[in-house]
Amino acid sequence: MESSLDTRIVHSFQENASDIGNESAPSYQTSSFSFASLEELEKYFKLYQGDSANRASQPGNAVIDELGQAVAMLEGAPAGVAAATGTSAVLTGIMATVSAGDHIIAAEDIFGGTYRLLSQELKHFGVETTFISFHDLEAVRKAIRPNTRLLYSETVTNPFLRVEDIDGVVQIAKENGLLTMIDNLYATPYLSQPFKKGVDLVVHSSAKFIGGHSDAAAGVLAGSEPLIQKVREKIVNIGAQLSPFEAWMTCRGIKTLGLRMEKQTTNAQVLADALMGNPLVSRVYYPEFVSKRGNGAVITIELMDQCDIHRFFSSLNWVKIVPSFAGVETTVSYPLGTSHRALSPEMQRKIGITKQVVRITLGIENSKDIIEQFEAALRQSAE
């Protein structure tokens, strides 16, 4: 009998191969291992890399492999691999799916860092990306070229929280022989499992909700074994391996993913409802339906013109101003000055990034305290 998702989150790690059981995933804090014979060396490579003739030259550390496998299990995918950061996970996933001369179609309202990677860095390697609104999937169909290889989007986009039509994207890809890659950072496997809908590669910046405590940088990809093996080789080839300690910290954080997301999504819904009626907020962006478990832990708001954005941020008291998000504390971020600052002014205007836009990530504090804090900051910003 299959366990519920909440139980699988807590028990998402495999049994250690040693004779002594471990309550948590063991960490081998070493950059390399020693072996008594060539036979032991070969056994080790096969354990972590399989029998592929094209396997990477350096196999992983046990706890790093545990992280990839744990996220893959939660996503319902057969294989997973961890990388040094979320950006390196996105990059190596793309490298495993496209080559020089290929074309990518990406949603235009994705995370600013990914937009920069696709628009600026990949073109140096002969890969072109077309950014288009995925609101109109017929427009996505029309953008497909003979050399198109990949459709890229996010389960819930950043920062305006548009819920992607994953079924529609997958259908277009399959009809045209394309691969799909979805960033599931916002929803996490707790709310959405894109692989089960036919997505080829699911990527996470697991420094965010997966790890959950703002203390470890990591990225994870989940997908089929052949595709993940290609990603694994790219990770080693470009030196994007995750450190054992970062992997261990992230593994520790996963165990409370269910508890954290339940509380954070509840807090987000309560705050979104409160701010929708606030006369100093011109618009609240919060999804209406991500899953039956909730709609996510992030809200984006746009302040009325009479609100001074600097006074708003300086009046937030214990709510931290950060460029990132997804720890257990409630935080705010300024997309115009952080995640989307490198976009051209034209693109910022096109997707709606203005000086009055604020992204809020809910923590696990008391919801009444959170509401009072934001209402007070809004009042002070308009004085």
DSSP assignment of 209-240: TTT-SS----EEEEE-HHHHHHHHHHHHHTT-
Please report, for residues 20, 75, 269, 294, 382, the alpha-carbon distance to residue 299 in angstroms, rounded to integers and kept in the order given.
Answer: 45, 24, 9, 13, 21
Confidence of residue 360 (pLDDT cuts 50, 70, 90): very high
The closest of 185, 217, 216, 214 to 202, measured between CA atoms, is 185
Give me the phi and psi of 292, to 5 degrees please.
-70, -15
pLDDT given at position 22: 57
- Residue 232 predicted with pLDDT over 50: yes
Domains of the chain with CATH codes: 5-254 (3.40.640.10), 257-381 (3.90.1150.10)
Q: Which of 213, 217, 228 is nearest to 75 (CA)?
A: 228
Residue 10 pLDDT > 90, yes or no?
Answer: no
Any idea which of 53-67, 290-304, 317-331, 350-364 has the lowest mean pLDDT?
53-67
- Which residue in the block uniquely carries the two structure tokens 């291992």? 33
> What pLDDT is stored for residue 18 in this prediction?
44
* Count of C-beta atoms within a 10 Å radius of residue 198: 14
- The pLDDT > 90 percentage for the chain reads 73
Tokens of 336: 């115009």
Six-digit token pair at 250? 């992230």
pLDDT at res. 58: 47
Q: In this predicted structure, what is the pLDDT of residue 106?
A: 98
Predicted TM-score (pTM) of the model is 0.89
Confidence band for 140, pLDDT divided at 50, 70 and 90: very high
Distance of CA 81 to the CA centre of its chain: 14
pLDDT at 132: 95
Only one residue has tokens 């009809």, namely: 175
Separation CA 111–CA 115 (nearest Å): 6
pLDDT at 295: 97
Instruction: Report which of 18, 278, 75, 271 is spatially closest to residue 190, judged by C-alpha positions.
Output: 75
Whether residue 209 has pLDDT greater than 80: yes
- With a cut of 80, say whether residue 253 has pLDDT above it: yes
Position 61 pLDDT exceeds 80:
no
pLDDT confidence of residue 43: 77
27 versus 52: which is more confidently predicted?
Answer: 27
**Amino acid sitting at position 57:** S
Compute the average pLDDT of residues 356-380: 97
> By three-state DSSP, how is residue 68 classified?
helix
pLDDT band at 19 (very low <50, low <70, confident <90, very high): very low
pLDDT in tens, 314-359: 999 999 999 888 889 999 999 988 888 878 889 888 889 999 999 9
* Spatial separation of the C-alpha atoms in residues 221 and 82, rounded to whole Å: 6
User: How confident is the model at residue 60, as a pLDDT?
Assistant: 60
Confidence of residue 20 (pLDDT cuts 50, 70, 90): very low
Q: Which two three-digit tokens encode residue 16? A: 């250690």
Mean pLDDT (the chain, rounded): 90
Q: SS3 helix, strand, coil % of the chain, rounded to 5?
A: 40, 15, 45
* Res. 48: pLDDT tops 60: no
The C-alpha atoms of residue 150 and residue 99 are separated, in whole angstroms, by 11
Structure confidence by residue, pLDDT tens digits, 115-132: 999 999 999 999 999 999
Q: Report, as an integer, the average pLDDT of 65-94.
A: 96
Calculate mean pLDDT across residues 299-310.
97
In this predicted structure, which of 5-9, 287-291, 361-365 has the lowest mean pLDDT?
5-9
Q: Are 284 and 161 in contact (CB under 8 A)?
A: no
